[in-house]
Structure 1
Amino acid sequence: MHRDQILEAIFQNIVDPLAICRIVDGANGKGKDLVYVRVNDAYEKINNMKRDDLIGKLYSSVWKDDLEDWRGVMIRVAETGSTGFGTEYGNDVKSGFFEAESCVAPGFYQLFIFSPIPDWVVLIFRDMSSWHKIALQLKKKERLLRKLTANLTLAEEKTRRAIATKLHDSIGYSMVSMLHSLRGLCETQAEAENKNKVFAAVEEMEKLLHETRSFTFDISPPILYEVGLSAAIEARCEHLQATHGIKCTFKSEGEESDIGEDKKILLYQMVHELLVNVIKHAEASCVLVIIRWGMKNIQIIVEDDGNGFILANTKKSNSGMGLFSIKERLRSVGGKVKIVSTPQKGTTVSLITPITSHD
């Protein structure tokens, strides 16, 4: 198809703001420039300019304050079919098609640049104002949802702590007192039959007291508030090894910082959930938990030698929902999660969050 036919077909079939330019020598023979060949009504409107101010004019003279160097981008596309950027800029360097977001009054637009013919370039602006408004609203709602999720976790923990405190301070002390009384009663029994019955009651009370203390630790470990995050996670690792037979090694690096009770609770709960995932899904024999205290950030690593999984499948599984929840809650305090997993070779989860508060 002839060049003019190609350009005419593009011009007639696109109603979005459109301009067609070609490469020319720059003013005074300095480098390359672009000259406007055609623009449509929509392009005039969004730029608040007339055709006479554009057609035949150099791009550099029309847009003297080209901070983003769009002229350079368009010249590269016209000459090579490529922007010269990588795919991280949202374009395919092999296709000759470029997409970027550009704020052009009176709305929000996407900019498409492509070269249908060597040394010619087409600019198309697509009005994305409605989409942009919805996207901003969605981001706002996502931030609110993450905050609510984090607040729900904190509210649950406060309830857990209240129950644990009641068990420890009231019921626990009462059970200890009863145990001492039973032991004393056992020593006073002369008849073997009576002594054995009381001794059996002592054993049952000891078992019940142990289970109550274990339950108290499970729902809200006092050590988290009395000593700190590192000690609480270490105790959780020891508890996992003692109750499930999985070797759990804990390491703490750096000096522990005061991170605030809310963030301390969130991080502890996340590590707890990761260890629960190991127990339920990984079939691991060894777990390594490392907490690194830096000047600005805290990093917690949970690594196991279990089954591993394909990351793309996590959304379909219970463990995937747990990881998604952890990601969202950590984002609410400015943190991020990185997961590396290989089937049959284990999983490593890294939690990183700033020490200072995040708005």
Structure 2
Amino acid sequence: ISEIVDQSHEIAIGLAEHFDVLHKVAKGDLGSRVSGESEVELLEALKKVTNEMIGKIAGEITKRKRAEAALLKAHDELERRVEERTAELRIANEKLQQEVAERNRAEDALRQSEEHHRTLIETMNEGLSVVDKDSVITFVNDQFCTMTGYSRDELIGYSETILLDKESQRIFTKQWAERTKGLAVPYEITLTRKDDRKVHTLVSPKPLFDENGQFTGSFGIFTDITERKQAESELLSYQEQLRSLASELSLVEERQRRCIATELNDYIGQTLYYSKNKLEALKELASADDLQEAADEVLSLIAQTIEYTKSLTFQLGTPLLYEEGLEAALKWLGYQFQKQLGLVFHFEDDLKPKPIADETRILLYQAVRELLINVTKHAKARNVKVSIQRDYKYIQISVEDDGIGFDTSKIEAYKSKDGGFGLFSIHERLKYLGGHFKFASKSGYGTKSTLTVPLKLIKKSTG
């Protein structure tokens, strides 16, 4: 019984230790273990079981704490990432709202711009046409319809060549090749209206290309220049009539000069010659010295008058021009300038036949006289040369001096300052006769003027 009591006492103490350790473990002391030694097999087995159970519980609790710590850390990381992402989304949303606002403003501006351009296109005075790469019309404005007499439905979907005659189609084909190369040079073309009337236009083209550089078509702005072309035509007609009138006036003037010269020669000249002859006969019969002296004085005056009349006759009518031709008249004219003004005159003639009309002969003579006058007034020349030659179907006369020359870029084109025949008149009258006038000069190197007109001229009709 004593052993049983002792054993029971030992079991009680062992159980108490077990309960104490379990209580500590329950309080969180996972390191507590049953450590007492006992000879009672039951207590040792219970100790082993309790310690193993405490170890397992400690392991599970440790794992759980680690899992909770990891879960807490993951939760904190998730919270951080959520906050960061939320901030990013807020910033992105703000940017998106700004972009949406800007896009709305851009769309409003684009809409207003489109409306402005649409209004501009529809109210512009020029016609606008857009064609694709096959020259098929895809758009026209109201003015283009008014200009051609067609409606939009009658134009869109059709080739622009329906508005062109053969000549205009040739121009369009050439210009279309330029568009495909990216070239955009304004050109003139005539459109045929629906009522077959012609409309002269000035086209300002613009080729169109896609983002790959492929040609997609072109648009053109058409300006109606019909009235301008008509005015130009009328102006050209007026210019032709003025040239004709100037030529006729020149002929009338020359005829009047010739008539006056003839009168001077036939009446005044003949009378002076007759008087001179009579006075010479009278002088031979007279014996008194004073009478002979008076006769000498009268003879001298008559001789001077005869020379003056002869000179005046040549200046007015230039009989050589009609009697011996242009070459002889120009040669005589040059030597008159040499005699009166001290110029050294040179004359060259290729001696080829040069058949020309009276109108042309008169004009060339007057032009050369005007050029020689210019040389004496402005060139300060010592020598002047007049050359006349035939160049196939043309007659060419050049007047060349060794004077001071001038800068041709500073001269007012063909302007005559003294109101004379003038370079402008020379240019215009030669142009009327189918010829041309040009001059070359350089400061310090003299001047050369060249007159060129066709031979055997057939007079133009002035309508």
- Using the size of structure 1 for normalisation, the TM-score is 0.80
Partner of 1:345: 445
**What pairs with 1:32-181 in structure 2 (closer than 5 Å)?**
33-47=134-148, 49-52=150-153, 54-56=155-157, 67-77=169-179, 79-80=181-182, 82=183, 96-102=184-190, 104-105=192-193, 106-115=197-206, 118=209, 119=215, 120-181=217-278
Mean CA deviation greater in 97-106 or 283-292: 97-106
Q: Indicate whether 1:21 and 2:109 are aligned.
A: no
Matched residue SS, 2:353? coil
User: Residue by residue, what CA displacement relative to the aligned partner does 1:292-350 show, whole Å, maximum 9, x if unpaired?
Assistant: 23442222212222243435425373379711112222233222222223334322222
What residue in structure 2 maps to residue 209 of structure 1?
306
Do 1:77 and 1:113's aligned partners in 2 also have CA atoms closer than 8 Å? no
- In the alignment, the residues of structure 2 paired with residue 299 and residue 43 of structure 1 have an alpha-carbon distance, to the nearest angstrom, of 52
Shift in CA distance, 103/176, structure 1 to aligned 2, threshold 3 Å:
farther
CA change 1:97–1:281 in 2 (3 A) is same
2:447 partner amino acid: T
Q: What SS class does the counterpart of residue 115 from structure 1 fall into?
A: strand
Distance 1:190 1:254, change over 3 A: closer
> Compared with structure 1, are the counterparts of its residues 103 and 55 closer, same or farther at alpha carbon in structure 2 (3 Å cutoff)?
closer
Q: Secondary structure of the equivalent of 1:272?
A: helix
Q: CA deviation at 1:58?
A: 5.7
Q: Which residue of 1 aligns with 2:97?
A: none
Shift in alpha-carbon separation, 1:108–1:238, aligned structure 2, 3 A: farther
Q: Secondary structure of 2:138's partner?
A: strand
Structure ID, larger Rg: 2
Distance 1:336 1:14, change over 3 A: same
> For structure 1, which runs of at least 5 residues remain unmatched after alignment?
24-32, 83-95
Q: Distance in 1 between matches of 2:121 and 2:401?
A: 60
Q: Assess if the C-alpha contact under 8 Å between 1:113 and 1:121 holds in 2.
A: no
Structure 2: give runs of 5+ residues left out of the alignment. 1-108, 210-214
Q: Deviations over 1:45-89 (max 9, x none)?
A: 544555445445566799796642524423523543x3xxxxxxx
Matched letter for residue 200 of structure 2: Y
Q: Which amino acid aligns with 2:448?
A: T
Q: Give the match for residue 459 of structure 2.
A: 358
Matched, 1:289 2:389: no
**Distance change (3 Å), C-alpha of 1:212 and 1:63:** closer
Q: Judge conservation of contact 1:313–1:320 (CA < 8 Å) in 2.
A: no
**Contact 2:161–2:169, Cα closer than 8 Å, also in 1:** no
**CA separation of 1:103/1:227 partners in 2, compared to 1, >3 Å: closer, same or farther?**
farther
How far residue 198 of structure 1 moved from its aligned partner, in angstroms, is 2.8
Match of 1:90 in 2: none
- Larger deviation, residues 199-208 vs 40-49: 40-49
Cross-structure match for 1:323: 423
Relative to total residues, which structure has the larger helix share, 1 or 2? 2
Q: Distance in 1 between matches of 2:267 and 2:340?
A: 26
Tell me the distance in 2 between the aligned counterparts of 1:69 and 1:253.
47
AA of the residue aligned to 1:114? P
Aligned CA distance change for structure 1 residues 154 and 22 (closer, same or farther; 3 Å):
same
Amino acid at match of 1:74: W
Counterpart code for 1:43: F
1:277 and 2:374 correspond: yes
Shift of 1:243: 1.2
Distance 1:306 1:203, change over 3 A: same
- Note the aligned Cα RMSD (angstroms): 3.2
3-state DSSP of counterpart to 1:259:
coil
Comparing 230-239 with 11-20, which one deviates more in the overlay?
11-20
State the aligned residue count.
335
Q: What is the alpha-carbon distance in structure 1 between the residues aligned to residue 416 and residue 271 of structure 2? A: 46
The one-letter code matched in structure 1 to 2:362 is I
Judged with a 3 Å threshold, the aligned counterparts in structure 2 of structure 1 residues 293 and 117 are, in CA distance, closer, same or farther, namely same
> Which 10-residue stretch deviates more, 194-203 or 289-298?
194-203
Decide whether the 8 Å contact of 2:147 with 2:199 is kept in 1: no
Identify if the C-alpha distance between structure 1 residues 39 and 342 changes in structure 2 by more than 3 Å, giving closer, same or farther.
same
- More strand, by proportion: 1
Match of 1:313 in 2: 412
Question: Measured at CA, do residues 230 and 242 of structure 1 come closer, stay the same or move farther in structure 2, by a change above 3 Å?
Answer: same
Paired with 2:315 and 2:421, the residues of 1 have a C-alpha distance of: 21
Partner of 1:26: none
Q: Which amino acid aligns with 2:138?
A: V
Structure ranking higher on relative contact order (CA contacts 8 Å, 6+ apart): 1
User: Greater CA deviation, 233-242 or 251-260?
Assistant: 251-260
Question: Does the 8 A contact of 2:240 with 2:432 survive in 1?
Answer: yes
